[in-house]
A and B are shown apart, each in its own frame.
Chain A
Amino acid sequence: MTHSEEYMTDHKLNPDTWIDLYADYLFNYAVARVNNAEIAKDLVQETFFAGLNSAKNYKGDAAERTWLIAILKRKVIDYYRKINSNKGKAEVRINYNANSDSEGDWLEERVADPFSKSENDPIENEELGLAIQECISKLPKKQSLVFTMKTIQGVSTEDICNELGINPSNLWVMIHRARTALMGCLNQNWY
């Protein structure tokens, strides 16, 4: 999320562009939380519905995407509430004294090790994924489509050309432009 985006006043909603601009971003966000592509897809769809229905409540104080993410967050929470509707399932029990030889400092002992790379990685990778997705959404529509099909979905050059009615050299020009733009967009934080 960029600061300029946050502080810009007079945000407007353009539901017609939501799917092009935010579907993949929201989808990545949801997949990371529910670990299931089908459920994530449903949550994204529900988010767009809820967004349309409550568009009149949008005050323009947050960027469109931030607003949609807030809706999606609630959808994710609702989803977990639903599957944990038996009270006991939602309860988290911590046994403070699993090892009888650890005395005192029990709270400190439970804090995640900040130097453990394996614990930080999934979060960092998710942030990276969202950063890439944000950069992709800034590309011209056809470039983002070609890049996504080729890089993320792994569709073959031939199939993309057939589907979009372009020839391979068109495709590689678009891939080149997309990649160059993404390198610039990601440059500051991730290289």
Chain B
Amino acid sequence: MISCEQARNICDKAQYDEAPLKDKIKLNLHLMWCKECSGYTRKNQALTSLCERAGLNSLSESEKEEMRKHLGQNNDL
């Protein structure tokens, strides 16, 4: 048996295809009785498909760094 925390961790990894099959089986067993994690999984999957549908673009950190230089700013990360 896995905890809710572990289940959500597997669920997060599964969104990026980084959950091993045996973990996914454990997750699915957990979801059979855990309503809360089922809700989390549903929303998490929906977030993944929303992100895919939106076709998001972003600038890489190095591109942003270049912009900062052009604007005469320093990165404060």
Contact = CB atoms under 8 A, between A and B. Distances in A.
Interface stretch (B21-29, B30-38, B42-50): B42-50
Nearest to A133: B56
Nearest to A49: B71
Interface in A34-54: 37, 40-41, 44-45, 48-49, 52
Interface string A98-134: 0000000000000000000000000001101100110
The dominant DSSP class at the A interface is helix
A150 B55 contact: no
Given A49-B71, A52-B71, A183 B47 contact: yes
A60 interface: no
A41 B44 CA distance: 30
Interface residues of A, number: 44
Contacts of A31: 57
Interface string A143-179: 0010011111100010000010000000010011001
B67 A153 contact: no
B44 A179 contact: yes
A19 interface: yes
Contacts of B58: 24, 27-28, 148, 152-153
B67 A179 contact: no
A27 B57 contact: yes
A44 B57 contact: no
A183 B39 CA distance: 11
B54 A128 contact: yes
Contacts of A152: 51, 56-58
A191 interface: yes
Contact of B43 (A15, A40, A125, A183): A183
A186 interface: yes
B67 A19 contact: yes
A161 B68 CA distance: 23
Contact of A151 (B13, B51, B59): B51
Given A41-B63, A132-B50, A150 B56 contact: no
Contacts of B12: 172, 175-176, 179
A23 B75 CA distance: 14
Interface of A: 15-16, 18-20, 23-24, 27-28, 31, 37, 40-41, 44-45, 48-49, 52, 125-126, 128-129, 132-133, 141-142, 145, 148-153, 157, 163, 172, 175-176, 179, 182-183, 186, 190-191
- Top 8 A-B residue pairs of the complex, sorted by shortest distance between their CB atoms: A129-B54, A128-B54, A24-B58, A152-B58, A152-B56, A183-B43, A31-B57, A19-B64
